[in-house]
Amino acid sequence: MWFVIPAVLVYVAVVIAPNVQGLAYSFTDWDGFGAAASFVGIDNYRHVFADDNAVGSIVNTFVLTLLVTVGQNVIGLLLALGLNSQVKSRYLLRLVFFLPVVLTPIVAGYLWKYLLMPEGTLNAVLGSLGLDGLQQDWLGDPDLVLYAVCAAIVWQGAGYSMVIYLAGLQAVPSEALEAAAMDGAGPVRRTWSITLPLINGAIVVNLLLTVLGNLKQFDTVFSMTSGGPAGASETMATTVYKSAFLYLQYPNALAQGVLLTLVVGVIGFVQYRLTQRKALA
């Protein structure tokens, strides 16, 4: 029985206790020092919802999570379907598509910052193709910046989804696909009616990972835009960090932390309940 004790001790001390402490203090005017905090009810939460930047970061987080989840899974699945074939270069291509996954997220963030800045690579390429009209200040335009960040995240994560989809595809029996081909089903039909239902487990795992991972997106945003311009790419995770460690607004940071935990917890729980039977099958 004492085998579990080290694990439980470090887990409770470093994960459970500070979360409980944070939740409790989010209802006080705690200044970070000592216990001289008094109960203020939901005041901190009211402040968060009265703050346009904080509310914007919640909206941004949902938009980013949705776009990245769709983009990364569609691209990852298409790549996996393509590389699960007899293509000769498939092993080399798997390496290539997985390479960005290994890259440190803040390194990828700085790289994409360079690609997308006004005098950066994308605009230079557009210019040399005579497409000057398409040149944009991708990271400086509040209407574009979130999509630019999403593109960087999808580029980095598509290989991750691809590998999980490939693992699922390798378990699909080729007899079923051959039988369907004999019955006259084309490749699209075979994929849709046979392959996709059979890789349900991989789809579920991928959706869980991309949704939960991106709800707390911090590194790429922080290195690419630091949430700017004017908060247009701020996420819940970056606002929690800034409130806590730049603006030293401890109670607000905790209230935002509770909100983020609620979002991740509820969405994660619902996703898990909706899909657990299929995922475990």
Partner 1 sequence: MNRYTGRTFALELVLIAVAAIFMVPILVLISVALRDPNSTPGFLGFTWPLHFENISTAWTASAMGPSLVNSIVITTVSVALIIVVASAASYTITRRTQRWSRGVFYLFLTGFLFPGQLAMLPLYLTFSKAGLVGNPVTVILIYVAGHMPFTVFLYCAFLRDLPRDYEEAATIDGAGSLRMFWTVVFPLARPVTGTVAILTALGVWNDFLNPLLYLTGGNTRTAPLSVYTFVGEYSANWPLVFSALITSVIPILVAYFLMQRFIMRGFASGLKG
The residue from 8, 74, 134, 270 that contacts partner 1 (CB under 8 A) is 8
The residue from 56, 76, 157, 168 that contacts partner 1 (CB under 8 A) is 168
Within 222-241, the residues that bind partner 1 by CB under 8 A are: 222-223, 236-237, 240-241
**Taking CB under 8 A as the rule, does residue 193 contact partner 1?**
no
Single out the segment in contact with partner 1 by CB under 8 A; choices: 13-21, 40-48, 49-57, 64-72.
Answer: 13-21
The residue from 48, 58, 64, 83 that contacts partner 1 (CB under 8 A) is 83
Within 90-129, the residues that bind partner 1 by CB under 8 A are: 93-100, 102-108, 110-112, 114-115, 117, 119-121, 123-125, 128
Single out the segment in contact with partner 1 by CB under 8 A; choices: 37-45, 49-57, 141-149, 199-207.
Answer: 199-207
DSSP the chain: -TTSHHHHHHHIIIIIHHHHHHHHHTTB---SSTT---B-TTHHHHHHHH-HHHHHHHHHHHHHHHHHHHHHHHHHHHHHHHHTS--TTHHHHHHHHHHHHHS-HHHHHHHHHHHHSTTSHHHHHHHHTT-GGG---TTT-TTTHHHHHHHHHHHHHHHHHHHHHHHHHHTS-HHHHHHHHHTT--HHHHIIIIIHHHTHHHHHHHHHHHHHHHHT--HHHHHHTTT-STTTT--HHHHHHHHHHTS--HHHHHHHHHHHHHHHHHHHHHHHHHHHHHHH-
**Taking CB under 8 A as the rule, does residue 42 contact partner 1?**
no
The residue from 42, 49, 52, 89 that contacts partner 1 (CB under 8 A) is 89
Minimum separation from the CB atom of position 20 to partner 1 (A):
9
Single out the segment in contact with partner 1 by CB under 8 A; choices: 38-46, 136-144, 226-234, 257-265.
Answer: 257-265
Within 43-62, the residues that bind partner 1 by CB under 8 A are: none
